[in-house]
Amino acid sequence: MGLNLTQKILNSHLRSGKVGSGGEIGISIDQTLTQDATGTMAYLQFEAMGIPKVKTELSVSYVDHNTLQTGFENADDHAFLQSCASRFGVYFSRPGNGICHQVHLERFGIPGKTLLGSDSHTPTGGGLGMLAIGAGGLDVAVAMGGGEFYIKDPKIVKVWLTGKLPPWVSAKDVILELLRRLSVKGGVGKIFEYAGPGVATLSVPERATIANMGAELGATTSIFPSDEQTKLFLRAQNREKDWIPLQADPDASYDEEIIIDLSSLEPLVAKPHMPDNVVPVTELIGTKVQQVAIGSCTNSSYRDLMTVASILKGKVVHPEVSLVISPGSRQVLTMIANNGALTDLLDAGARILESTCGPCIGMGQAPASGAVSLRTFNRNFKGRSGTIDAGIYLVSPEVAAASALTGTITDPRTLGPYPEIELPEYYRVDDSLILAPSNSEVEIVRGPNIKPLPVAPKLSDRLELPVAIKLGNDITTDDIMPAGAKILPLRSNIPAMSEYVFSKIDEGFSARAKALGQSIIIAGHNYGQGSSREHAALVPMYLGIRVVIAKSFARIHKANLINFGILPLTFKQEEDYDLLTPDSKLIFDNLTQAIFSSEPIPVKIDNTDKTIYLQHDFTERQARILLAGGLLNYTREANK
Ligand code: MIC
Ligand code: SF4
């Protein structure tokens, strides 16, 4: 039996376990990326491991999230990151050079390699045929030190593409269609491997859009074959030497199969407040729009911005719409500046922002109260934009540009002939904002925003834990640890961040958790979906959270909880969720043994005669990490 593409890459990087066994596998990581919002912790953790230089083939540190400098904090973090990069052997992409995933695709991604990034949209690299996975900063720090990365052996889904996208329908609609079919939980534990005759009709930037937003399915990653399109892209980036052909064997087998006929797709929209709340644009025609934001790691490539510029050329945006555009990279920005498209955008009334994440992570451009904002981004969680009652709709660049002109949600197919964008034969290559590491000893610059790393306590055998909060389904890491212009600058300062845990849904949480000392979180399905931010585990750990009981967990967040010594447990019987109240107190006994056993854990509800049963699927390695009080303690002990 032949192998699929994922199996080929996993096998060639396998360091422990067996592909196809369903158990845990450990793989070696060729490349890593970090961004500034998760990077400061990752480098503090790398430093704490005492390894002098990274051991990967390539590691890159990007600055793209915290670029609004309203105080000293972000600039301090940038200086810290720049000095760490130079000291530890990491390339440093300076602020202004672009969004990590876009720049990595352009300048560093290589088919067939593994990439681990401290950002959940790292799978963007799958557009180039890489096995690119998002993880918490601590896992990335371990990979930088040469350690293997562990995942549960994934189920591999074949996404068979046929046909060709019709005019005005684009890559964003392909991934919105998958989200419509499968939901934000539909990809947990799975890798989506694209194949079929439709693949050849998609360019690498289009594939990257699809792979990028596979993160919203909860997938471990998504991957496309490396073919002639990949070669064209790499040649145009002056990197043809990095190309290798790579695809599944013709007789490869898969765990599941999904078929999408590209020709049958139509423009789609994800309505507030979840990326899977997808409907055809035709259902929303006429809805008034106050803001249109184009950018993010999903849709800000040269192809996307040229499409938008062609639609807007010679026209002006509706007077009640604020149009903001953040180009994905300096390469994209300089190319549209040189070919005149930037002038078309400015003439149309667009407000041009830096080449960064910007509004996608609430770093500015919060919409007006109650506004409708159409965004080409990947997440529309309530409040993430910075305005709690704004309605964020996720759309393609085509729908965004058409609606910016009319002031209402518009079907772009009404605009006439579709501007087919020709991709450049050569992109403009200028790596002068990417600094190579230094060979000499570099002093690490630590401003007052860089606070020491909190370390988790060792696991106690007996815990009596009151419930700190009881939550429903699909709680995101934005709910747990909000981002935005006010809170993101505190990412290197855990005591300051701790004031904001759950602040968007329960303002009293932080004070209550502190008063309780140690406590527990109860949640429904898919707890911790969304971002890879380990702060959503680290800061609750700092506030005394020792256990999270949920109906199910999102992959990265579950790993982050274990990394920070918090027990992620699930209900043996889901109905037991209803027995717990915000005032319950739970009594755990013999925990240090229970985490090594597959037997359900009996837990007494204090002041009642009830016992509920909880379960886990910890591997022996994860149980040891939990026992040690998290991955940092565990790695240090292992390196002694
Ligand atoms: C996001 O899109 O939520 C982020 C900000 O890029 C995060 C990382 C972070 O919280 O720093 C992600 O997706 O992992
Ligand atoms: Fe940045 Fe948004 Fe992409 Fe996250 S999703 S990396 S915030 S652009």
pLDDT tens for each residue of 313-367: 999 999 999 999 999 999 999 999 999 999 999 999 999 999 999 999 999 999 9
Q: Span 120-144, mean pLDDT?
A: 98
Whether ligand 2 lies within 6 angstroms of the CB of 67 is answered as no
Residue pointed to by tokens 């300062």 = 493
In the block, residue with structure tokens 């300048």? 107
The CATH class that applies to domain 268-412 reads alpha beta
Query: How far lies 540's CA from each of 120, 468, 504, 547, 560, in Å?
Result: 20, 11, 15, 10, 11
Locate the ligand 2 atom nearest the alpha carbon of residue 360 and give its number.
2
Ligand 1 atom nearest the C-alpha of 532 is 14
* Rounded mean pLDDT, 160-185: 98
Contact 133, 218 (CB under 8 A): no
Give me the mean pLDDT over the 458-485 stretch. Answer: 97
- Of the residues 105, 376, 377, which should be mutated to test ligand 2's pocket, given the most ligand atoms within 8 Å of the CB? 377
Rounded to whole angstroms, the Cα distance separating 465 from 518 reads 6
Residue 493 beta carbon below 6 angstroms from any ligand 2 atom: no
DSSP count for the chain of H helices, then E strands: 21, 27
Domain 5-264 -> CATH class: alpha beta
Sorting pLDDT into bands at 50, 70 and 90, what band is 440?
A: confident
Q: Span 126-148, mean pLDDT?
A: 97
Closest-approaching ligand to the CA atom of 363: 2
Would the pLDDT of 162 be above 90?
Answer: yes
Residue whose Cα lies nearest atom 6 of ligand 1: it is: 119
| % of the chain at pLDDT higher than 70 | 100
Q: How confident is the model at residue 640 (pLDDT cuts 50, 70, 90)?
A: low
Give the mean model confidence (pLDDT) for residues 435-450.
91
Dist CA 441 CA 432 (whole Å): 22
Task: Just give the CATH number of 463-638.
Answer: 3.20.19.10
Question: Ligand 1 centroid vs 423 CA: distance in angstroms?
Answer: 29
| Residue 639 in this model has a pLDDT that exceeds 90 | no
pTM of the model: 0.98
Confidence of residue 637 (pLDDT cuts 50, 70, 90): confident
**Which pLDDT score is estimated for 439?**
78
Whether residue 443 has pLDDT greater than 70 = yes
Which ligand has its closest atom nearest to the C-alpha of 133? 1
Distance 599 CA to ligand 1 centre (A): 35
Q: How far is the CA of 357 from the centre of ligand 1 (A)?
A: 9
Other Cβ atoms less than 10 A from the Cβ of 430: the count is 11
Q: Is-same-fold flag (268-412; 463-638)? A: no
Sign of the CA dihedral with 531 first, then 471, 464, and 576 last: negative
Query: Per-residue pLDDT averaged across 443-457, rounded?
Result: 91
Confidence of residue 193 (pLDDT cuts 50, 70, 90): very high
Instruction: Give the closest residue (by CA) to ligand 1 atom 13.
Output: 531
- Please state which of the ranges 222-236, 260-274, 396-410, 438-452 shows the lowest mean pLDDT: 438-452
Q: In the predicted model, what is the mean pLDDT of the chain? A: 97
Average the pLDDT over 165-185 and give the result: 98
Residue 128 has pLDDT above 90, yes or no: yes
Strand partners, 567: 547
Q: If you measure from the C-alpha of residue 520 to the centroid of ligand 2, how many angstroms do you get, rounded to a whole number?
A: 30
- Classify each residue of 495-520 as buried b or exposed e, where b means 16 or more C-beta atoms within 10 Å of its C-beta: ebbbebbbbbeeeebbebbeebebbb
Domain assignments of the chain as residue spans, ordered by start: 5-264, 268-412, 463-638
pLDDT digits (tens, 9 = 90+) for 522-542: 999 999 999 999 999 999 999
Mean pLDDT of 491-507: 96
